Amino acid sequence: EAGVAQSPRYKIIEKRQSVAFWCNPISGHATLYWYQQILGQGPKLLIQFQNNGVVDDSQLPKDRFSAERLKGVDSTLKIQPAKLEDSAVYLCASSLGLKVHEQYFGPGTRLTVT
Amino acid sequence: ELKVEQNPLFLSMQEGKNYTIYCNYSTTSDRLYWYRQDPGKSLESLFVLLSNGAVKQEGRLMASLDTKARLSTLHITAAVHDLSATYFCAVDSYTGNQFYFGTGTSLTVIP
C-alpha cells in the first residue's frame, strides 16, 4: 500500500514570496490533516478535512495560509506572503475517517524562508 | 487550549537500562497516541490508547493510559541503540476535532 505522498520535499523562498505544498493521502482515507512542525517542537495541527469539507481550521493563520481539498483526495496548502517564522516542516497526514484515530504521516516538506 | 507536556525533554540512557517517559495533558480526553520520529524523518505511529487503563506493548516499549490522572507513560525495557529517536505523545480534544502533540522527548541510547 502506498503511503502519504508530499511534494516538494524541500523549498527555499524569500520572505513575502508565495509557496504551495501538495499532498496525496493514502487511497480511501477520508480525513486529511496538515501540520506545521517548527524545529524542536511537536507538530501543530493547522487544518483538518473530512472528504472535501473543512472540519477544523482554528489554528490556521488565515491571513496568509490557505488550504483546499477540492475533490476530496489531493490537497494543497499555500502560504502567501511567507514570513521568516513560517520556516518549518509541513506534514500531511491521513486517516480512514474522523473517528478512526490512527494517522499516517507523509515525509514532509521542509520550508526555509530567508 | 489543551496542553500536553512530556518529561523529560531529553533522555540519555545506557543500553540495557529501563526508563519511563511521562505525558501529562490538561483536559478530559480518553484517547492518547504515541509516535516516534527519527531525525529528518516523518512520524511513525507506535501506540493508540483508547480507554482508561489501556496498556499496549510492542517489543521493548510499553504504553499505558490513566485518564483520571490525565497521564500516559511510555516504558522502555532494556534499551538498545535502535530506540534512539524523539518520542511524541498526542491527545484528541474531547470533541475530537483538534489534535495536540506534546513537546517531545529526545532519547539517546548509548552503547
Interface of A with B in 37-66 (CB under 8 A): 40-45, 48, 55-56, 58-59
Q: Do A102 and B48 touch (CB under 8 A)?
A: yes
The one-letter amino acid at B75? H
Per-residue pLDDT tens for B44-87? 999 999 888 899 999 999 999 999 999 999 999 999 999 999 99
Per-chain mean pLDDT for chain A: 94
Q: Do A102 and B4 touch (CB under 8 A)?
A: no
Residue of A nearest to B47 (CA): A102
The one-letter amino acid at A6? Q
Dig out the grid coordinates for A11 from the structure: 523549498
- The reported pLDDT for the residue numbered A70 is 83
Residue A1 reports pLDDT greater than 80: no
- The reported pLDDT for the residue numbered A105 is 95
Query: Is residue B12 within 8 Å of residue B108, measured between CB atoms?
Result: yes
Dig out the grid coordinates for B36 from the structure: 516516534
**CA separation for the pair B96, B17 (Å, rounded):** 37
Dig out the grid coordinates for B1 from the structure: 487550549
Q: Do A42 and B99 touch (CB under 8 A)?
A: no
Residue A98 reports pLDDT greater than 80: no
* Residue whose C-alpha cell reads 494543497 in the numeric block: A76
Residue B1 reports pLDDT greater than 90: no
Burial B1-25 (b: 16+ CB within 10 A, else e): eeebebeeeebebeeeeebebebbb
Per-residue pLDDT tens for A15-41? 999 999 999 999 999 999 999 999 989
User: Which of A42-47's residues contact partners 24+ apart within 8 Å by CB, and which partners?
Assistant: A42/B4, A42/B88, A42/B90, A42/B101, A42/B102, A42/B103, A42/B104, A43/A91, A43/B43, A43/B88, A43/B101, A44/B101, A45/B98, A45/B99, A45/B100, A46/A77, A47/A77
The nearest CA of chain A is from the CA of B89 a distance in Å of 9
Per-residue pLDDT tens for B3-60? 999 999 999 999 999 999 999 999 877 789 999 999 888 899 999 998 888 999 999 9
- The reported pLDDT for the residue numbered A18 is 98
- The reported pLDDT for the residue numbered A100 is 64
Residue A92 reports pLDDT greater than 70: yes
**CA separation for the pair B83, B61 (Å, rounded):** 9
Which residues, 6+ apart, have CB-to-CB distance to A61 below 8 Å? Answer: none
- Give the residue from A45, A47, A48, A90 with the most B CB atoms within 10 Å of its CB, the best one to mutate: A45
Candidate from B88, B97, B104 with C-beta closest to A48: B97
